[in-house]
Structure 1
Amino acid sequence: REHRERFVSQQIHYTLEARDAEFELLPISLDQGLGVLVWSPLAGGLLSGKHRRNQAAPEGTRQFAGWTEPPIRDEDRLWNIVETLVSVAESRNVSAAQVALAWLLGRQAVTSVIIGGRTEAQFKDNLAAADLKLSAEERKRLDDVSLPQLLYPYWHQRNTASDRLGEADLSLLGPHLNQ
Structure 2
Amino acid sequence: MAEPTTDPFVPENPAVAEQVAEGHMVKDAPHAEPSALGLTPGGWVGASMLVLLLILIWKGGLKAMTGGLDSRIAAIREQLDEAKKLRAEAEALRDEYTTKIANAEKDAEAMLENARHEAEALLDKAEEDSKALVERRKRMADEKIAAAEREAVEDVRNRAASAAAAASRGLIAEKHDASADSRLADELIAGI
Larger Rg: 2
Answer 1 or 2: which has greater helix percent: 2
Structure with the bigger RCO (C-alpha within 8 Å, sep 6+) is: 1
Same fold per superposition (TM over 0.5): no
Q: TM-score with structure 1 length normalisation?
A: 0.14
Answer 1 or 2: which has greater strand percent: 1
